[in-house]
A and B are shown apart, each in its own frame.
Chain A
Amino acid sequence: MIRLSIPLRQALARLSLPVLIAAAFGAMLLGKADALLIERARMALADALSPIWGAVQQPFSAVRDTVAEAQTLWNIRTENARLIEENERLRRWQATALALEAENALLRRQLSWVPEPAPQYRTARVVADAGGTYARAVLLAAGPQHNIRKGQVALDERGFAGRVTEVGSRSARVLLATDINSRIPVTLEGSRARAIMVGNNAARPRLQHWPEGTTPREGDRVVTSAQAGAFPAGLPVGVVRWSESGAAEVELFAQLDRLDVLRLFDFGLSGILPPEAVARPEPRAAGRR
């Protein structure tokens, strides 16, 4: 230790706060100037901490499972009645589905339809909430030899959850569909109209830019659209709901507030621009739009 005189030490202590506040502004500038460096630092930190989170997550999920179990036991009777009724309904649907499948197979044979290859996927556990106050994202723990790429599509067991935006050596970050930066091209299944699903950090993202004349209907199913080449068509996303304020919103199938495991699909699509291209958009040609 270097021994400093008391007045000098006091002066240093008084000076340290302004200097550090200046350093905070410097960090902001650095974050704006070199997003890639910050991203790498973040993923390095996330990589280092993801084993800890993985371990800490176990008791949390155990507690949550116990609570869920207790709740299930509590309303097991009403649940049973509902399930019997639903089973009836599903049985009818199953018959319809089997008939349609047979018909579909028949028609495909006649059309010499080339089937799409089954997509590869891997599952990964959600270990941390990587969103901030103004962002919605989760962090996945992946093995050291994972093959997660940017732009892969993340689905939970029910439907579309988000997209991989950053990849570290043993973790990956998934930007959820509810994040304010999320823009997902979707199709309304009833009318085949295309629209954009825009996140707003609330539980239900909004629908925007649907074609004139085809207003989304309440209860219409929303699926992804292959429009920008970023998603395959037809992944289940949610259901249209009109809010009280008169905005078309999407009630997602995925339960984004209790994500445990996500499936990451590799559709081999490369429709998403690399971040460098997004950060510096080319100037628009003058005179044209």
Chain B
Amino acid sequence: MPPPILDVHDVTVAYHRKPVLWDVDLTVTKPSLVGIVGPNGAGKSTLIKAILGLVPLVSGSVHVFGQPVSQERRRIGYVPQRESVDWDFPVNVLDVVLMGTYGRLGWFRRPGAREKAWAHECLAEVGMADLARQQIGQLSGGQQQRTFLARALAQQADLYFMDEPFAGVDAATERAIATLLRQLRRDGKTLFVVHHDLRTVPSYFDHVILLNVRLVASGPTPLVFTEDNLRKTYGGRLAILETMGQALSQEERTA
């Protein structure tokens, strides 16, 4: 049996001695499109960062493909939150996408014609073929998000971590990203996506992780994405749950 794609064991993370992730145990064995869902401050981004080794673990361990993450960086793609960078930085769209190839290039080697052709392909994949020479400060929010996705595609990874790729994008971009994620999933990739919009969870993801500092539930969407589990995740926030209930029943009617 092959090792699990992702194995998170007893992970605890704290900022200023306050735990933001508490004893999270998580295993994903087969290629999936995974939604990470929970209220604000639930530690969704922190979970991704902990897996990638970007924040120190108080305890626990993370393995991908049976190896420590540091051994498998080449197979991992990352889409950080859009607000995490300065969009006035003097680079154009192609420069940013080319950064996805840097890991393979290694120290001091510059991207050449082959990398540029590949970056253009990745841009075409997200519908930005004609914006390669655009300065990144002139992009709309949706275009910025697509640029980050193209950069992750350029990494040619098997496992992707995406921090709110749907945040603040227009409807067209939302559809384009959803289609792209499904396509990657069909190609046998595994994707972990931090997601905010509960209404779209059942239609986007085949696996859901419900998180609120502790892991509430993790498993196939139809089994895990239930009203009961959502109540446990979101606590007493009834307004959210009511809209949720309506969304769920609507989902059932249309399904």
Q: Do A and B truly interact?
A: no
Partner-B contacts on A (CB < 8 A): none
